């Protein structure tokens, strides 16, 4: 029996940009969108051969753009080609050294804000302008439970919590600006997730579900927000954190 994707969830004939696609949530999101039929543009600072090979093996059309999203020219180039229907911006950074033990705290803080706040703002603005010319589009950012609660432990760095709180505020601000153009801006707020960025973190036993989240558990809500199934959602921040935050 062949499987048929409901029309509201199908990404057939639609082009989606996925940032942070080399690993973790970005890679899992690319795979989920490929499963829905999307044509993919994979973006990361690191090589994305493994992700590209996996989605192409699924039958997805895929191109790769490797570069630094803090480079304004590179970011703008993402929207210089054919129409983009959806953007899943999964790229971000987390510093592992405790902030009050980091001798380069000032430089680190500015780097965190550059990658985790300025880039989401600029990629959303660029995507909104591009999509607005076509009358529709979906943009999804990745916030964090840390942006709502300050973090799931005392080890959560304050610069990371602040940057993700800023992402949540930007989603609400950009949603109001984009909706008149037919463009929807939403986000997910994960708790701790098993990714290369959190490798070695043993927070699972202290979380409500007794484990950390899996990248795939974030990927499908993100993929949903890229589809017409989320056609009346704008400014939403979905809690996908295994009960780490309820409110």
Say how many CA atoms lie within 13 Å of 164 toward its Cβ: 26
- Domains of the chain plus CATH, in order, are 15-240 (3.40.50.720)
List the catalytic residues.
160
pLDDT (0 to 100) of residue 153: 72
- Residue 65, pLDDT > 80, answer yes
C-alpha to C-alpha distances, 178 to 6, 8, 24, 242, 243, nearest whole angstrom: 26, 21, 28, 30, 30
- Residue 200, pLDDT > 70, answer no
Q: Residue 63: what are its φ and ψ, rounded to 5°?
A: -125, 160
Encode pLDDT of 130-141 as tens digits. Answer: 999 999 999 999
pLDDT (0 to 100) of residue 1: 42
C-alpha to C-alpha distances, 38 to 10, 14, 35, 54, nearest whole angstrom: 8, 5, 7, 14
- Residue 166, pLDDT > 90, answer yes
Residue 118: pLDDT band by 50, 70, 90 thresholds? very high
* Token output for 49: 């051969």
């Amino acid at each position: 029996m062949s499987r048929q994707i409901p029309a509201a969830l199908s990404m057939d004939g639609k082009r989606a940009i996925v940032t942070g696609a080399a690993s973790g949530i970005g890679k899992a999101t690319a795979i989920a969108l490929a499963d829905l039929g999307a044509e993919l543009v994979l973006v990361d600072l690191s090589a994305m051969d493994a992700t590209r090979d996996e989605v192409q093996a699924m039958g997805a059309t895929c191109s790769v753009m490797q570069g630094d999203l803090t480079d304004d020219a590179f970011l703008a180039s993402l929207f210089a080609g054919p129409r983009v229907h959806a953007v899943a911006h999964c790229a971000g950074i987390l510093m592992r050294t405790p902030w009050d033990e980091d001798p380069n705290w000032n430089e680190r803080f500015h780097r965190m804000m550059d990658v985790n706040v300025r880039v989401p703002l600029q990629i959303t603005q660029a995507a909104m302008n591009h999509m607005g010319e076509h009358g529709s589009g979906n943009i999804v950012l990745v916030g964090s439970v840390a942006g709502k609660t300050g973090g799931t432990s005392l080890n959560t760095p304050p610069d990371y919590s602040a940057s993700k709180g800023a992402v949540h505020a930007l989603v609400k601000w950009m949603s109001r600006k984009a909706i008149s153009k037919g463009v929807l801006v939403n986000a997910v707020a994960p708790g701790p997730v098993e990714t290369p960025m959190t490798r070695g973190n043993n927070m699972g036993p202290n979380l409500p579900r007794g484990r950390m989240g899996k990248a795939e558990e974030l990927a499908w809500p993100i993929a949903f927000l890229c589809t017409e199934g989320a056609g009346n959602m704008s400014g939403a921040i979905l809690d996908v954190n295994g009960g780490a935050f309820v409110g």
